[in-house]
């Protein structure tokens, strides 16, 4: 509440809704993990009850590391849990190779996206030094614009570029180049 009272929005990083599936809860089935994550969202929603939803952002996190991610729980499995979070903005990964295809979950579940949710898809990968072409960034954004409309999409990065001190594989100059590509790609959306 103090953060919002100071005029800032509150963003919560939630690795407990995805990463913890293969880090902490390997002994559970996916269905059992979804129940655990659902309890986490219930607790989160209770803790946030006095904060306006439009001031809350939730990021579902599969772990910001360059690795195979073959144990990641799919977005399709976590979709309902993510949508139940008491947050206006939902941030998620859709540019890395493991989750790049999952924009289709949002397309296929369009009717299940609450009308008040703003989608913040990751359109640049934060774990690789490849700089995305602005046209690719625009294409990634347009996928979501086609689903919920331009007024409900904010382009983002998959995660942060500096998750832990000293644990960053992306050179700072390249991180800025990726953000420039994000900006340029976003500017292209709707112009063509």
DSSP 20-43: HHHHT-TTS-HHHHHHHHHHHHHH
* Domains held by the chain: number: 1
Average pLDDT over residues 69-75: 77
pLDDT-based confidence at 107, cuts 50/70/90? very high
- Contacting residues for 41 by C-beta, under 8 A, at least 6 apart: 17, 81, 84, 85
CA distance 157 to 114: 22
* Banded model confidence at residue 161, pLDDT cuts 50, 70, 90: confident
The model's pTM? 0.92
pLDDT-derived band at 141, boundaries 50, 70, 90: very high
The residue-averaged pLDDT of 60-81 equals: 79
Closest Cα partner for 37 from 77, 5, 66? Answer: 77
Q: How confident is the model at residue 55 (pLDDT cuts 50, 70, 90)?
A: very high
Helices (H), 12-101: 19-23, 30-47, 75-83
**14: confidence class by pLDDT, cuts 50, 70, 90:** confident
CA distance 157 to 163: 13
Cβ(78)–Cβ(37) below 8 Å: yes
For residue 165, is pLDDT > 60? no
Confidence of residue 92 (pLDDT cuts 50, 70, 90): very high
Render the burial of 135-164: b for 16+ CB within 10 Å, e for the rest. eebbebbbbbbebbeeebbbbbbbbebebe
pLDDT at residue 20, as a whole number: 74
Mean pLDDT, range 109-132, rounded to an integer: 96
- Which CATH number characterizes residue 101's domain? 3.20.20.210
Q: Which domain holds residue 61?
A: 2-188
Mean pLDDT, the chain, integer: 90
């Amino acid at each position: 509440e103090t953060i919002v009272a100071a005029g800032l929005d509150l963003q919560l990083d939630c690795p407990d809704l995805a990463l913890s599936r293969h880090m902490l809860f390997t002994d559970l089935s996916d269905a059992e993990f979804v129940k655990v994550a659902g309890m986490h969202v219930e607790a989160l929603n209770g803790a946030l009850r006095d904060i306006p939803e439009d001031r809350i952002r939730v990021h579902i996190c599969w772990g910001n590391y360059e690795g195979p991610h073959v144990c990641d729980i799919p977005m399709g499995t976590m979709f309902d849990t993510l949508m139940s979070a008491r947050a206006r903005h939902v941030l998620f990964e859709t540019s890395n190779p493991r989750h790049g295809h999952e924009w289709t979950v949002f397309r296929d579940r369009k009717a299940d996206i609450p009308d008040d949710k703003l989608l913040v898809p990751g359109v640049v990968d934060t774990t690789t030094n490849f700089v995305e072409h602005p046209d690719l960034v625009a294409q990634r954004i347009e996928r979501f614009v086609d689903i919920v409309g331009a007024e409900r999409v904010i382009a983002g990065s998959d995660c942060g570029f500096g998750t832990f001190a000293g644990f960053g594989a992306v050179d700072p100059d390249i991180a800025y180049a990726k953000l420039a590509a994000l900006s340029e790609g976003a500017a292209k959306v709707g112009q063509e």
